[in-house]
Chains A and B, each alone.
Chain A
Amino acid sequence: MVDQTAAPEKQSKWPDIDFKTLGPAIALLILCVIGYLLNPAFLSEGNITNLLTRSAFIGIIAVGATFVITAGGIDLSVGSMAAVIAGLMIIIMNSAVDTLGTGVATVILGCGCSIILGIGAGWINGFLTTKGKIEAFIVTLGTMGIFRSLVTYFADGGTLSLNFDLRGTYRPVYYESVLGLPVPVWVFIFVAIAGWILLNRTAFGRFCTAIGSSEAVAKYSAIKVDRIKTYTYIIQGLCVALATIIYVPRLGSASGTTGVLWELEAIAAVIIGGTVLKGGYGRIGGTILGALILTTIGNILNFTDVISNYLNGTMQGLIIIVAVWLQRGSWGKNKKKTT
Chain B
Amino acid sequence: MPMDDSSNKAVLLADRISKSFGEVPVLFSVNFDVQAGEVHALIGENGAGKSTLMKILGGFHAPTSGNLIYDGEETVLPPNGQAEALGIVLIHQELNLAEQMTVEENIFLGRELSRNGFLDRKEMSQKVASWLQEVGMNISPNDRISELSIAEKQMVEIVKAMSRDARVLIMDEPTAVLTDAETELFFQQVEKLKKRGVAIIFVSHKLAEVNQIADRVTILRDGQWIATKPVDELSLDSMAQMMVGRELSNLYPPKNEADVDSDIVLQVQNLVAPNVNNVSFELRKGEILGFSGLVGSGRTALFEAICGLSSIEEGQVYLDGQPVQFKNVAEARDAGVTYLTKDRKGRGLLLEKTMRPNLTLMALPKFVKNFMMDTAAEEEALKRGIRRFDIRARDPKVKVGDMSGGNQQKLLLAKIMECDPRIVIIDEPTRGIDVGTKQQIYHFIAALAADGMSVVVISSEMPEIIGVCHRVAVMREGRITGVVTGNDNNETEIVRYAAGLKEARVHG
Interface residues of B, Cβ cutoff 8 Å to A: 21-24, 309, 328-330, 332-333, 339, 341, 343, 346-353, 357, 361-362, 364-365, 367-368, 371-373, 379, 394-399, 402, 415, 419
Complex-state Cα separation, A13 to B354, whole angstroms:
13
Contacts A201-B373, A203-B368: A213 and B352 contacting too (C-beta < 8 A)? yes
Q: List 14 A-B contacts (CB under 8 A).
A: A2-B379, A9-B398, A10-B395, A202-B372, A202-B373, A203-B364, A209-B353, A213-B353, A217-B350, A220-B348, A222-B332, A222-B419, A223-B330, A339-B402
- Whether a CB of chain B sits under 8 angstroms from the CB of A206 is yes
Q: Give bound CA distance, A47 to B295, whole Å.
A: 68
4 more A-B contacts (CB under 8 A) besides A7-B394, A216-B346, A220-B341?
A210-B357, A219-B309, A221-B329, A224-B330
Whole-angstrom distance from the CB of A6 to the nearest CB of chain B? 8
Set of chain B residues within 8 Å of A338, measured between Cβ atoms: 21, 398-399, 402
Q: Does any Cβ of B come within 8 Å of A147's Cβ?
A: no
Interface residues of A in 1-46 (CB under 8 A from B): 2, 4-5, 7-10, 12-13
Using a CB–CB cutoff of 8 Å, the interface residues on chain A facing chain B are: 2, 4-5, 7-10, 12-13, 197, 201-203, 205-207, 209-210, 213-214, 216-224, 280-281, 337-339
Chain B residues whose C-beta falls within 8 Å of the C-beta of A7 in the assembled complex = 394-395
User: Do A201 and B352 touch (CB < 8 A)?
Assistant: no
A222 engages B396 (CB within 8 Å): no
| B395 partner residues in chain A, CB cutoff 8 A | 5, 7, 9-10
Q: Find out whether the CB atom of A220 lies under 8 angstroms from the CB atom of B367.
A: no
Query: How distant is the Cα of A304 from the Cα of B361 in the complex, in angstroms?
Result: 51
Q: How far is the CA of A4 from the CA of B357 in the complex (A)?
A: 18
Within the complex, what minimum Cβ distance (angstroms) separates A32 from chain B? Answer: 33
Kindly state the separation between the CA atoms of A281 and B394 in the bound complex, as whole angstroms.
23
Q: Kindly identify which residue among A9, A209, A224 contacts B397, using a CB–CB cutoff of 8 Å.
A: A9
Residues of A within 8 A of B346 (CB): 214, 216-217
Complex contact B22–A222 (CB within 8 A): no
Asked whether A206 lies within 8 Å of B350 as measured between CB atoms, the reply is no
A309 to B415, CA, bound (A): 55
Hey, which chain B residues are within 8 Å of A206, CB to CB? 357, 361, 364, 373
- A8 and B23 within 8 A (CB): yes
Given A210-B357, A220-B339, are A203 and B367 also a contact pair (CB < 8 Å)? yes
Cα A219 to Cα B23 with chains together (Å): 37
A184 and B471 alpha carbons, distance in the complex (Å)? 67
Interface centre among A203, A205, A217, A222 (most CB of B within 10 A): A222
Q: How far is the CB of B223 from chain A (nearest CB, A)?
A: 15
Question: With A2-B396, A338-B398, A338-B402 in contact, do A217 and B349 touch (Cβ < 8 Å)?
Answer: yes
Q: CA separation between A210 and B22, bound complex, in Å?
A: 29
Q: In the complex, which residues of chain B have a beta carbon less than 8 angstroms from the beta carbon of A201?
A: 372-373
Contact B350 A210 (CB under 8 A): yes
**Contacting pair A222 B330 (CB below 8 A):** yes
Q: Which residues of B contact A209 (CB under 8 A)?
A: 353, 357
Nearest Cβ on chain A to B314's Cβ, whole angstroms = 24
Contact B402 A13 (CB under 8 A): no
Most buried by A among B22, B330, B365: B22
B328's partner among A5, A207, A213, A222 (CB-CB below 8 A) is A222
